[in-house]
Amino acid sequence: MAIASVRTAEAAVGWTRPRRFGLDRDALLGILHALLLTRRLDERGHVLFKQGKLPGSFYTCKGNEAASVGVAAAMAPGDLAAPLHRNLGLHLYRGVEPWRVLCQYMGRVGGRPTGATRISAPRISPRGVGIVAGPSHLPSILPVAVGAALAFRVRGEARWRSAGSATAPRPTARRTSR
């Protein structure tokens, strides 16, 4: 019979590293809250889909929480984002209420400002949260995102972020250059 041993180690990252990036305890707790809320809401959506309570399909974001929330946390308040179908964390971190996400998933009024839809991917863009929700899936958000980035560039505003997908080779967070 093998005897289990327990190893203890110091934390790999102390408080000095997050402080270099301007993150205090409250900011880190906010990020953790958004990560946990994203995972829990995604799990709930998956359960509802398996129970047959969601119209259409369901796109899980499991494993992409840190990419979405990380990009959202790095955004300035005036920045604009065009999240993909797996970037639920960006929606939640930017201020979209969880009940709106569930309404969106279930095709109920309240999920979108324009009424119900049958797409279970988050396409919610209430005014003031800095999200451009795409008209559909991946390809159709590209012209919208490029048009918004071009408008910012013409006006001399650097306020754009893009949250990548886990299926992309490398998730990115970039500002447009002037």
Over the chain, what HEC string results? CCCCCCCCCCCCCCCHHHHHCCCCHHHHHHHHHHHHHHHHHHHHHHHHHHCCCCCCCCCCCCCCHHHHHHHHHHCCCCCEECCCCCCHHHHHHCCCCHHHHHHHHHCCCCCCCCCCCCCCCCCCCCCCCCECCCCCCHHHHHHHHHHHHHHHHHHCCCCEECCCCCCCCCCCCCCCCC
What is residue 1's predicted lDDT score, i.e. its pLDDT? 55
Confidence of residue 169 (pLDDT cuts 50, 70, 90): very low
CA neighbours closer than 13 Å in the CB half-sphere of residue 170: 3
pLDDT in tens, 8-43: 656 556 666 777 777 888 888 999 999 999 999 999
Residue that wins the pLDDT comparison between 169 and 32: 32
What is residue 3's predicted lDDT score, i.e. its pLDDT? 64
Looking up tokens 């974001």 gives 61
What is residue 34's predicted lDDT score, i.e. its pLDDT? 95
Q: What is the mean pLDDT of residues 101-121?
A: 63
What is residue 8's predicted lDDT score, i.e. its pLDDT? 67
**Residue 159 pLDDT more than 50?**
yes
What is residue 153's predicted lDDT score, i.e. its pLDDT? 84
pLDDT in tens, 78-101: 888 888 778 889 989 988 888 888
What is residue 74's predicted lDDT score, i.e. its pLDDT? 87
CB burial of 84-109 (b: ≥16 within 10 Å; e: otherwise) equals bbbbbbbbbbbebeeebbbbbbbbbe
Nearest one of 103, 131, 138 to 117, comparing CA atoms: 103
